[in-house]
Amino acid sequence: MRFLELFKPISRVIPEVKPPERKVSFQNRLIWTLLALLIYFIMSEIPLYGIPITTSGDTFTAYRVIFASARGTLMELGIGPIVTAGLIIQLLAGSDIISFDRSSAEDRGLFTTASKFFSIVMIIIQASLYIVSGQYGSVTLTKALLIFAQLLVAGLIIMLLDELVQKGWGIGSGISLFIVGGITANIWWMSFSFINYDGRAYGAIIAFFQGIWTKLPVPSWFFRPNGAPDMIGFFTTIAVFLVVIYMEGMRVELPISHSQYRGYRGRMPIKLLYVSNIPVILAYALFANFQMVGQFLWSRWNVANDNNWLSWLGTFTYSSSGQPVATGGLVYYITSPQTLQGVMNSPLRALIYALIVIVFCVIFSITWLEIGGLGAEDMADQLLESGMQVPGFRRNKQPIVTLLNRYIPTITIIGGAIVGALAAISDFFGVFGSGMGALLAVSILYQYYQTMVQEQVADLYPFLRGAFE
């Protein structure tokens, strides 16, 4: 029996969003997309029952960007369970435990069911870990069950919203939509918040003008040693955005033509960031789950940090706010120092952290190349099925595969290393929303721009629609 067939009995009870029976207009897809984003923002502001919204001492701050989560709210878990479940599914597919025919509607449906099943399992596991690891302090059984129920329902809603967007009702991916929404809100808050923070506004731009108005020393206009957002972080954020935008435009373009419409000529771009933001999302999702498990094991069996086996995974101590902070072990080295001061205090840790991020981004880039349908053979199949061909080559798969293999594997490795280095190093300079957040925001917005352009091109040239799918 194939692995996917195990999910046939539960496919009838797993909640799902039915795909549209006919093509939804671009305007209606945009409305559904904005509606899903609005629901996400509303859930990000609704506090969990009995849990105050606070960000002080949050040990998962660095990972909330990719999880699109907000501490103490219904979006506490964010898209974390979905991303983690996707990581598990891709690993199973990469190891050939899961094999399915992409052209078979039944297999695609079972694969979707398996993805949602693992997502629900991860919602249950992560919600339980949050509660038992002491993230909400000491809670009674009743309150723990209420928190668990809230996280479970919120996780199911986010899972269905993601499916709604992906199945043709919306534009792009729900995961990407929530990530860019959370990053944008975070950057806006860190730039323009009027909330008082040690005598000045929390927002960097507001605090900058306050410093000028109150005639503070010029260095304090740009640098704030108390950890609040400052103009150095603001300018670095702009610089990172510009660098990522520039890299998004770097590509190798192969000429293509249509086998039937001989007047049509075009180019097939192979971008430097070929696999886009997927590797960094998977890498940081893996790190976050390591930290979550490490905290749980430490809080239960290694509070004194005297168990050598568990200490290898991670040692912690309680901060002044009562939250566990990594002090050693693997968890310590996969957690960013976050600031230049932190880098100067622990340069070896910063170097190891950057190397780990780069290595894992390269690994996930190569892995995603094969299991994400981006390899040379998959791209050659897409070209031939859409009626396209490469001028000068026979309309045969093998010559096209040979040509694509000259570029795709090398660009994938280089792009993965660049993405990992940018995400890791940008964190050291106080980039708003984290360096990883800036990278994800630009990549996702660029993908949305490409999707909108493709929609317009496909409307003008219907025969090209197959090349975009």
pLDDT in tens, 314-358: 888 877 766 778 888 898 998 888 777 788 888 999 999 999 999
* Residue 424, pLDDT above cutoff 50: yes
Tokens of 51: 């849990």
Q: For the residues 450-461, what does the mean pLDDT come to?
A: 67
């964190």: which residue's tokens?
427
* Residue 129, pLDDT above cutoff 50: yes
pLDDT of residue 152: 94
Tokens of 283: 């890498």
Per DSSP, helices labelled H in 46-165 are: 64-67, 80-94, 105-132, 141-164
CA-CA-CA-CA torsion sign (74, 75, 76, 78):
positive
Question: How far apart are the C-alpha atoms of 338 and 346, rounded to whole Å?
Answer: 11
- Residue pair 402/340 in contact (Cβ under 8 Å)? The answer is no
213-469 matches 1-171 in CATH topology? yes
Question: How far apart are the C-alpha atoms of 144 and 128, rounded to whole Å?
Answer: 9
Q: Which CATH number fits domain 213-469: 3.40.630.10, 1.10.1270.20, 3.40.50.261, 1.10.3370.10?
A: 1.10.3370.10
Residue type, 217: P
Model pTM score: 0.76
What ranges do the domains of the chain cover? 1-171, 213-469
* Number of alpha helices (DSSP H) and beta strands (DSSP E) in the chain: 19, 7
Mean pLDDT value across the chain: 81
How does DSSP assign 349-389, residue by residue?
A: HHHHHHHHHHHHHHHHHHHHHHHTT-SHHHHHHHHHHTTEE
CATH code for the structural domain at 1-171 = 1.10.3370.10
Residue type, 368: W
